[in-house]
Chain A
Amino acid sequence: MSLLRRLSAGVAPALVVLAAIAVVALVMMVTGFDPVAAARAAVRGAVGSEFALFSATLKRTTPLLMLGLAVAVAFRAGVLNIGADGQFLAGAAAACAFGLAVGDAVGRSVLLGALAVGILAGALWAGVAAWLKRRFNVMEVVSTLLLNFVALNLVGFLVRGPLQEPTGAYPASATLLSAARLPLLLDGQRLHVGFVFSVGLAIAAWWFFRSTAAGFQIRVTGASRTVAASAGRLDVDGVQMWSLVASGAIAGLAGACEVTGVTYALYEGLSPGYGYTAIATALLGGLNPLGIIMSAALFGALGAGADAMQRDAGVPAEFATVVTALVVLGVLAVPGVMKNWARITGRGEQ
């Protein structure tokens, strides 16, 4: 693809984002806020300083990027995984439990163990939905959604029970020892190594879809189940099942990184609706891993900016949620933004 075409492919998503922001600015004006002051505070909070960029925007980008990739892997296979939140929590809980249990007995290996356990837990959590689909034909939309609530309540149980911090006063786990924490990237900033993982994962995912047989099998299945089954002779149900499991594994890693890189402890509000923002991230990125790097950074900045907007300009941070919602609707409404998505909506045949 020529550079010009690559650039123009980014124009439509950019216009959608600008339109969403414009609509929200209008709503702000109507409801009596100053959109200019809000924007100024938001930009300052998102990219106005090193701290804003590294400790706010890119720190937030990390889980969004991983979860966006998780969602994209499933969507690319034609599977609607709306349970990234639950898989994220499963990964976080498992990683935290492992880190607390092992402590610093094995040195830094505990960190690797915690990340591995997080990946496994996310995969298993999605695997439940995959198994229910394969074995009992339970719609994955419903099962992944319900498993979000099961995961949330399980975390609630863990932080009030087996994993509760020693004083027993708060619904949160004890704090991970430094051996189980992801190293920070920069002195004085809260950005952690997980960010490097997430970008590396995006590049790996891009290579996976572009260059490997498994990635191609997933793309074919998502593009057309009938062609995949007839010309490709693929077991399309099997491909979709394993894609969902892989999606969960990535979401689990995101959870593990969040708990070992940011919070160092488990608590119920670990995901402020990341799973839904991840859907917006994946769609705006055109389900393309490299595009998702850009959209995750954008939504990371949006979140960081919204916090600053509320803190410094007194404008409710919830306006960011509205922007996110409008971006998704815009992506759906403007044809051509979502080339890959158009392919996988043909789900009538089965």
Chain B
Amino acid sequence: MPTAVLDGFLEATVRSATPLAFAALGELVAERSGVMNIGLEGAIAAGALAAFLGAQIAGPEIGFVAGGVAGALVAAVFAFFVLALRSQQIIVGAAVSMLGIGLSASIHRAMVSAGASTAQVQTLASLPVPGLSTLPVVGDALFAQPISTYLLYFLFPLTGWVLYHTVFGVALRATGERPLAVVAAGHSAAKIQLAALIFGGVLAGLGGATLVVAQTGTFSDGMSAGRGFIAIAIVALGRWTPRGVVVGVLVFGAVSALQFLAQAMAWNVPYTLVLASPYVLTLAAMAIFRGSRTAPAALGQPLDGGL
């Protein structure tokens, strides 16, 4: 295999994996607190549009931050229905997905038709890490990336540290297992879930933002392309741990990069089947690992009144 092709494959893997990694890490935290947010898709779409608009006005860095803020707003809508009204999480999630996708597409079309939008925005510059970026094979793919990718290298260990090495993390995981125990210990399960949901929204928004300000430099309708749902699969495949999520992100990233590889190598493989494989793998993993501790016990269940 020519080096250029391998480099290209690795680079494509990291590129596909980056937005997924943001969204999946956020969903991991939400699910560990007991909430399944399938409205992530809407937060990604909103984050992408906000990043696109922000980048037009104030440059890609501000655009990136705007994406996170938009994601938080979408998550706040979800949290209001789930935590204040105690509505069914999955139904709210489906509605919030539609809301985020529909609103961002509508607003984008409005801007375009009003002539208020450019087609392209500046993207975040690639910042090669001296030394590391010259490593063979992985150098370019991992260490000649925009700042958003490096943020991930920092966020994954940080999230793992908070989850496993702070009392807050213990309480968050306990909320996903048994909210009653958290309340008995004098903490508010709803507040913990709120924090987890907003964090998840910010990350999903940042994931959407990377699509625009770190990759394509433009916004298109439907550019979230199911990444919010893929994030849910990744969390399940990663068996609800940060390390597992890293593996899941790379699996899904590599699989979509295979498309590139197959073209470059002129392989005649039905890549749509390859694209389906990680979902099948996730289902198989969920079936196989059912006995051992996997999904948070209270995942998807509404809090009882008064918690």
Contacts and interface: CB of A to CB of B under 8 A. Distances in A.
Touch test A–B (CB under 8 Å): yes
Interface of A: 27, 31-33, 80, 82, 128, 132, 135-139, 141-143, 145-150, 153-154, 156-157, 160-161, 273, 276, 279-280, 283, 314, 316, 318-322, 324-326, 328-329, 332-333, 341, 345, 347-348
Interface in B253-307: 270, 272-273, 275-276, 279-280, 282-283, 286-288, 290, 295, 299-302, 304
Nearest to B113: A314
A82 B288 CA distance: 22
Contacts of B38: 82, 141, 145
26 contacts: A27-B103, A31-B106, A31-B111, A32-B114, A128-B283, A136-B287, A139-B300, A142-B286, A146-B282, A149-B226, A149-B276, A149-B279, A150-B279, A153-B272, A153-B279, A156-B275, A276-B97, A279-B91, A318-B221, A322-B98, A325-B95, A325-B96, A329-B77, A332-B81, A333-B81, A345-B302
A27 B276 contact: no
B12 interface: no
Interface centre among B94, B279, B286, by most chain A C-beta atoms within 10 angstroms, is B94
Interface stretch (B134-142, B196-204, B228-236): B228-236
A73 to B, nearest CB: 16
Contact of B85 (A149, A273, A332, A348): A332
B110 interface: yes
Given A32-B114, A348-B302, A319 B282 contact: no
Given A161-B270, A279-B94, A322-B98, A136 B286 contact: yes
Interface in B95-138: 95-99, 101-103, 105-107, 109-111, 113-114
Contacts of B106: 27, 31, 316, 318-319, 322
Given A33-B110, A145-B232, A316-B109, A132 B99 contact: no
A80 B102 contact: no
A318 B283 contact: no
B36 interface: yes
Given A135-B287, A148-B229, A325-B97, 5 more contacts: A318-B109, A325-B99, A328-B98, A332-B92, A348-B301
